[in-house]
């Protein structure tokens, strides 16, 4: 390094001799004499101008000393090299060969070419060192490797996903295994994470997992409604990492790597038969992980958590979050919406409108424009739940039909009609599901005499016909008017003049 500025200061300001300057700067006497003579020629005085930096000062004494302006080697256009390397089949070796072919006498060697490119590339990248405040952020992600769990009855192997959460300031880590990364497991893992920490951070930074983020966006990601509801319950902000920017959640990336190394790697030789057994092992190894001393800092994650994050976390709400499945659908023409193969009624004036279903374990609530319009106890069976107040007036009158009223009407037509109607009411889980077909049959008495209808029901009962269209076909074909066929006798008489016994064949 040339000590031009120091030599000028010692000569022009301190007034030292050339030999004193040589002893102080470890520079030869000849070099100092040459430099001072050039300074006199350039009429340089002390102090130097404030805007004169070392590069410009060196250029005054040593023109052409800038190594980047060397005429011996042709410096490649690194920007073009960077863009070309983005192509699938392009390599640095190929680009170097093209470069040497273009500048055969002024080219760098391949090793120098690669080294200078790496140096240029480092200058282009800028990593902002993030400062994490106590209790501010919790970073969340899933491990890549899964853990196999064996069904002890069938021997079937099913893999479990490993959820990881890391607090920003203390690096305090939580991990657990779940069957899937689906929405319910994703949300309930958050609940157990907050319970493990004993408090709630200000912000959660997840990856753009489909369960949490419906549509990833660098500036305005679209969160899942259930995820938004969990955030509102715990009063926590959700800030997903930018797509393809793993440094946004570097704490989670490192936490995942540590969990894989210090927990999953230790369990690689173990066989698990239940998810609970796996989580029990993970919990015991998690305590060891959080107690391991830091390599460069004093203490460990447990101590840092108690000192930094734990006092800054906000208190948990009185009741934990209960998973609510939120879906959007359109009200059907029969003023019912379908959820989990069960139909629930809404006021009939909302037919055709898009509504939002909030389904918990015990209750199904329907919202229209953030206003609740219906609520029903949740049923986990196939069927229909109808609130009478949701029905139009004419439908409400129709609902006044009862099994007894239908049977009385059928009895007036005939006993076979009563049997057919009773069978239809009994074969359904809910008698209301058979009202339509029974009313369809009984209303046939307006077009056909009761005797014909009863005769048609007799044929249907005998042949096991349980559809209304079968009875209509009997009436339309006049089959009920045909004489009934006598049963055929298939037994042969034992004694008859035309039957010879075994004695006739001796």
Q: What angle do helix axes 403-413 and 450-463 make, rounded to 10 degrees?
A: 110
Q: String of b and e for 227-242 (b: at least 16 CB within 10 Å)?
A: bebbbebbebebebbb
DSSP state of 316: P
Whether pTM exceeds 0.85: no
Q: Could you give the CA distance from residue 379 to residue 384 in angstroms, rounded to a whole number? A: 9
Residue 164, beta-bridge partner list? 141, 175
Residue 363, SS3?
A: strand
Residue 270, SS3?
A: coil
Q: Are 413 and 450 in contact (CB under 8 A)?
A: yes
Q: String of b and e for 18-54 (b: at least 16 CB within 10 Å)?
A: beebbeeeebeeeebeebbeebeeeebeeeeeeeeee
Residue 212, SS3?
A: coil
> Would you state the structure tokens that stand for residue 165, as one six-digit string?
């959460």
Residue 372, beta-bridge partner list? 367
Q: Could you give the CA distance from residue 201 to residue 133 in angstroms, rounded to a whole number? A: 10
Residue 385: its pLDDT value, please? 87
Residues 190-231 have pLDDT tens digits of 999 999 999 999 888 887 665 556 444 443 455 678 888 888
Q: What's the chain's average pLDDT? A: 82
Closest CA to 159 of 178, 170, 146, 169: 146
> Would you state the structure tokens that stand for residue 214, as one six-digit string?
């419906």
Residue 380, SS3?
A: coil
> Would you state the structure tokens that stand for residue 350, as one six-digit string?
């909302």
Q: Are 260 and 145 in contact (CB under 8 A)?
A: yes
| Number of other CB atoms surrounding residue 90 within 10 Å | 14
CATH class of 137-312: alpha beta
Residue 492: its pLDDT value, please? 60
- Rounded to whole angstroms, what are the CA distances from 73 to 69, 91, 99, 498? 9, 22, 11, 126
Residues 44-80 have pLDDT tens digits of 888 888 777 777 777 787 765 554 444 578 889 888 8
What's the CA angle centered on 401, arms 397 and 402, to 5 degrees?
Answer: 150
Residues in CB range of 101: below 8 A, 6 or more apart? none
Residue 309: its pLDDT value, please? 85
> Would you state the structure tokens that stand for residue 381, as one six-digit string?
């069976």
- Rounded to whole angstroms, what are the CA distances from 259 to 299, 335, 343, 360? 19, 51, 45, 33
Residue 215, beta-bridge partner list? 222
| Number of other CB atoms surrounding residue 79 within 10 Å | 10
Residues 364-419 have pLDDT tens digits of 999 998 899 999 998 888 888 888 888 776 655 555 667 888 888 899 999 999 99
Could you give phi then psi for residue 387, rounded to 5 degrees? -90, 125
Closest CA to 240 of 261, 270, 215: 215
Domain ranges in the chain are 4-69, 78-124, 137-312, 325-385, 401-481
Q: Could you give the CA distance from residue 446 to residue 316 in angstroms, rounded to a whole number? A: 68
Q: Could you give the CA distance from residue 220 to residue 241 in angstroms, rounded to a whole number? A: 11
Per-residue pLDDT 10s for the chain (506 aa) are: 457 888 888 888 888 888 888 888 888 888 888 888 888 888 888 888 877 777 777 778 776 555 444 457 888 988 888 777 767 678 899 999 999 988 888 889 999 999 998 888 887 655 545 566 788 888 888 888 889 999 888 889 999 999 999 988 888 999 999 999 888 888 899 999 999 999 999 888 887 665 556 444 443 455 678 888 888 888 888 877 665 555 555 666 787 888 888 888 888 888 999 999 999 999 999 998 898 888 767 788 888 888 888 888 989 988 888 888 888 899 888 788 888 888 899 998 888 889 999 888 888 999 998 899 999 998 888 888 888 888 776 655 555 667 888 888 899 999 999 999 999 888 877 777 778 788 888 889 989 999 999 999 999 999 888 889 999 999 999 988 888 665 555 566 666 666 776 777 66
- How would you class 331 by CB atoms within 10 Å of its CB: exposed for 0-12, middle for 13-18, buried for 19 or more? buried
> Would you state the structure tokens that stand for residue 287, as one six-digit string?
């305590």
């Amino acid at each position: 390094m040339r000590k031009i500025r120091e030599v000028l200061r010692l000569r022009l300001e301190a007034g030292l001799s050339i030999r004193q300057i040589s002893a102080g700067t470890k520079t030869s006497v000849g070099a100092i004499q040459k430099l001072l003579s050039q300074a006199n020629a350039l009429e340089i005085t002390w102090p130097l101008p404030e805007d004169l930096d070392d590069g410009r000062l060196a250029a005054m004494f040593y023109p052409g000393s800038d190594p980047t302006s060397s005429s011996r080697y042709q410096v490649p256009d690194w920007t073009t090299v960077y863009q070309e390397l983005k192509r699938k089949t392009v390599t640095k070796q190929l680009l170097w060969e093209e470069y040497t072919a273009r500048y055969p006498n002024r080219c760098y060697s391949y090793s120098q070419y690669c080294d200078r490119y790496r140096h240029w590339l480092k200058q282009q990248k800028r990593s902002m060192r993030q400062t994490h405040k106590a209790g501010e952020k919790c970073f969340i992600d899933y491990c890549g490797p899964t853990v196999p769990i064996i069904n002890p009855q069938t021997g079937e192997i099913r893999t479990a996903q490993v959820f990881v959460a890391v607090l920003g300031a203390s690096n305090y880590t939580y991990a657990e295994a779940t069957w899937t990364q689906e929405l319910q497991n994703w949300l309930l893992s958050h609940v157990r994470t907050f319970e493990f920490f004993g408090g709630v951070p200000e912000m959660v930074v997840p990856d753009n997992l489909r369960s949490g983020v419906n549509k990833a966006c660098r500036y305005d990601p679209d969160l899942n409604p259930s995820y938004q509801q969990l955030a509102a319950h715990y009063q926590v902000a959700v800030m997903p990492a930018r797509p393809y920017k793993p440094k946004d959640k570097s704490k989670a990336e490192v936490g995942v790597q540590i969990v894989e190394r210090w927990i999953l790697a230790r369990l690689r030789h173990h066989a698990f038969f239940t998810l609970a057994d796996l989580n029990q092992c993970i919990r015991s190894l998690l305590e060891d992980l959080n107690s391991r001393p830091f390599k460069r800092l004093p203490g460990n994650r447990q101590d840092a958590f108690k000192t930094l994050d734990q006092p800054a976390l906000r208190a948990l709400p009185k009741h934990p979050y209960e998973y609510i499945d939120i879906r959007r659908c359109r009200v059907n023409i029969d003023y019912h919406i379908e959820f989990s193969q069960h139909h629930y009624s809404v006021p009939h004036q909302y037919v055709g409108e898009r509504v939002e279903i909030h389904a918990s374990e015990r209750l199904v609530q329907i919202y229209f424009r953030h206003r609740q319009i219906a609520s029903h106890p949740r049923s986990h069976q196939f069927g229909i739940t109808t609130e009478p107040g949701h029905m139009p007036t004419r439908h409400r009158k129709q609902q006044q039909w009862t099994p007894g009223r239908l049977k009385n009407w059928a009895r007036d037509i005939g006993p076979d009609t009563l049997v057919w109607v009773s069978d239809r009411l009994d074969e359904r889980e809910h008698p209301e599901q058979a009202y339509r077909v029974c009313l369809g049959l009984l209303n046939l008495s307006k077009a056909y005499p009761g005797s014909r209808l009863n005769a048609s029901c007799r044929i249907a009962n005998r042949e096991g016909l349980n559809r209304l269209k079968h009875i209509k076909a009997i009436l339309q074909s006049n089959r009920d008017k045909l004489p009934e066929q006598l049963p055929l006798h298939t037994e042969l008489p034992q004694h008859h003049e035309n039957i010879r016994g075994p004695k006739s064949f001796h």
